[in-house]
Chain A
Amino acid sequence: MVDPGGGDGHEGDRPEDRWGRAMVAVQAGDEIAYRELLEELLPFVRRQVRFRISSRADAEDVVQNALISIHRGRHTYRTERPFGPWVRTVVRNCVIDWFRERGRRVSREVAVEEPELFSDGVRDEELGAHELAPPLAAALQALPAKQREAVELIHVHGLTVAEAAVEAGVSPGALKVRAHRGYRALRMRLTAAPGSGGSEA
């Protein structure tokens, strides 16, 4: 239970009041209060997101973005204001961003034939967990460092966008842009590289 004030004097409070008080400790840098607050907020945020996004995987991505947004915007909460509208606005904006990005993604996507990366007989299960097929590894190495980092964090190390953003020290949006540019460059290199095209398989 998050209650930096000791808890006894505030029994029967609404959760949002309790969270608002916890934010004072969070703004002062209290890691334990922050972890407890985020743990308590998690079901609330998930409810808010899943009410609008049916896909569990997509909803969880948005939940993670919302947690990052709460983190980045924690200085904008003022204790004399109610906490509920503050956190709901942050979550709602993340949901809106997701819908917008999905709309853009759908309008941009073009069906392309997947290149046969493993046409040399190397099977997926024969490769190690972080081991890439030689054509893909070479194409990845040729990417600019920031794009390579974004692609590797998401697809080689299996991090979610939100986790990868924290790892790279950028916003989730910026990381997605880098990853998207990386995918585009990879696709161009792989489809252009002789011997790697699907037509040869």
Chain B
Amino acid sequence: MSRDPTRHLIERLSTNLAPVQPVAPLASTLAALMGVALLVGGAVLAVYHPKPALWTTFVGDPTYASVLVGLSLAVVGGCLGTLASVIPGREAVMRVGVAAAVVGLLLAVGGAAATTPWSEVALSSEFPGHGMCIVRGVGFAIVPGFAAFYAATRGWSGRPEITVVLALLGTGAVGALLVHLTCPAIDPFHVLCTHTSTPLLLTAVLTAALLPLVRRYAR
């Protein structure tokens, strides 16, 4: 046994050193992840068709626009933060991603909540419709979610919990955004409960389950 365990460790680590492939640049990984999201988005829009009068609604309905812009921001911020969180030294970029995701979600949730007629909520809510939009949102998020987690496990995560939360928020926002683009409903309560809740729901339910995976493969 060596007298200095740390130098002994250095000997062990440097013996039979395997070559490694450096991670791809952050920008190209983000572009690839956004490409996956766009492909899924294209397929979803081809199957479910965009909401009728999408542009008119976007321009004329501030609630719809704030949710759309907010979720888009959350997608980019969440995915950027996820990828930056697994590269040591890129904390500044990760913080930008976190800020964008939080602002985006606040914009989406706040926009929908601000215009919800709370006194009429009990009468206007249709829970079967809520359930279907949530299921679709989760379904649309599966492929981008796998892509984000695959990309995350290629890196080294010092803080896996942040990586998992950001990945779930970002890819959950992809699903929510696609639901928002395809769902014909404009009821702010429905938008609040289903379109904007998907990323939050996914994060709340799956963080504990996915954390061990990221701890295992991204460390």
Q: Interface residues, chain A, CB within 8 Å of chain B? A: 26-32, 34-35, 38-39, 42, 60, 63-64, 67-69, 71-79, 81-82, 85-90, 92-93, 96, 157-160, 162-163, 166, 171, 173
Contacts and interface: CB of A to CB of B under 8 A. Distances in A.
Contacts of A85: 88-89, 91
Does more than half of chain A's interface fall in helix, strand or loop, or is it mixed?
helix
Interface string B137-162: 00000000000000000011011000
Nearest to B215: A173
B95 to A, nearest CB: 13
Given A27-B19, A81-B89, A160-B5, A76 B12 contact: no
B21 A26 contact: no
Interface string B13-34: 1111111111101000000000
A64 B15 contact: no
Does more than half of chain B's interface fall in helix, strand or loop, or is it mixed?
loop
B205 interface: no
Contacts of B155: 73, 76
B11 A35 contact: yes
Contacts, number: 112
B71 to A, nearest CB: 30
Interface residues of B, number: 33
B49 interface: no
Contacts of B21: 27, 75
B97 to A, nearest CB: 16
B6 interface: yes
B5 A64 contact: yes
B17 to A, nearest CB: 5
Contacts of A160: 5, 9
Contacts of B156: 69, 72-73, 75-76, 90
Contact of B10 (A32, A38, A79, A81): A38
Contacts of B20: 27, 29, 74-75
A181 B47 CA distance: 51
Given A27-B19, A42-B6, 18 more contacts: A26-B17, A27-B22, A34-B13, A35-B14, A38-B10, A64-B5, A69-B158, A69-B219, A71-B13, A73-B155, A75-B21, A78-B23, A82-B89, A85-B88, A89-B158, A90-B156, A160-B9, A163-B9
Contacts of A27: 19-22
A93 B158 contact: yes
